[in-house]
Amino acid sequence: MKTIGIMGAMNEEITPLLEIFGNFDRIELGGNTFYKVEYSEKILIIAYSKIGKVHAAITATTMILHFGVECIIFSGVAGGISSDLKVGDLLLATRLVQHDVDITAFGHAKGFIPEGQLFYDSDVGLCSLACDVASEMGLSIKKGIVASGDQFIASKEVKDSIAHEFKAIAVEMEGAAVACVCYNFKVPFCIFRSISDSADGEASVSFDKFLESSAKTSAQFVSKLVDRI
């Protein structure tokens, strides 16, 4: 059976998935809870990493090394920084970058770490499947660069800076860390986000309001994708 890892950053982001897939076993490991689901001749390992790049990297590494997942799907929410993205839109991250990495003093591009990547590309095959699923569900899926950092972006000035520097269309706090882990272990991955706020001065208000509905949008989409893998 194929083993698939599914991650979110917060409990609210995986709760809709657990409701969809039903029965599961709980496994406590490394200060986190992993949910093992046998579903349609597949094994699903579901977990919320907790917020931030470090926690996301720990969870992704555990999924790969301990549970042997063969691909990782990250489902959750993000803040839109493109005027083309509205609350509730479904977003596929084609590339990911760490917007808060800065060693430009040593002559490197912002976001780049030596012996690493500036941008991490999502798996072409999984992205293609995702687009097929979106089409079948009658959903419009947006695609573009997503920037990750250990900051909740609620400032228009910071939003504009990230958009200019990296051509990013959305921001979140985990995706690039998951992408980095998967790149190093040669595990295919894709990052899906439902836009929960506009990453402007009202971000903290709209995030709370739309988190639950946005997470459900991502969860429903991911469940359909799992059926196709």
Shortest CA distance to 6 belongs to which of 226, 228, 179, 194? 226
Which pair of structure tokens corresponds to residue 214?
Answer: 């946005």
In sequence order, the 6+-apart residues with CB closer than 8 A to the CB of 33 are: 26, 27, 47
Query: What is the C-alpha separation between 162 and 153, in angstroms, rounded?
Result: 10
Among the listed residues 12, 13, 41, 160, the single catalytic one is 13
Q: Is 197 a catalytic residue?
A: yes
Helices (H), 22-121: 53-65
Cα–Cα distance measured from residue 113 to residue 54, given in angstroms and rounded to the nearest whole number: 15
Number of H helices, E strands in the chain: 6, 10
Q: Is residue 172 annotated as part of the catalytic site, yes or no?
A: no
> Which CB contacts under 8 angstroms, 24+ apart, belong to 60-66?
60/5, 60/7, 60/177, 60/178, 60/181, 60/182, 61/181, 61/185, 62/29, 62/30, 62/32, 62/34, 63/5, 63/7, 63/34, 64/5, 64/181, 64/182, 64/185, 64/187, 65/185, 66/29
Active-site option among 123, 172, 174, 197: 197
Radius of gyration for the chain, computed over Cα atoms and rounded to the nearest angstrom: 16
Q: Which are the catalytic amino acids?
A: 13, 197
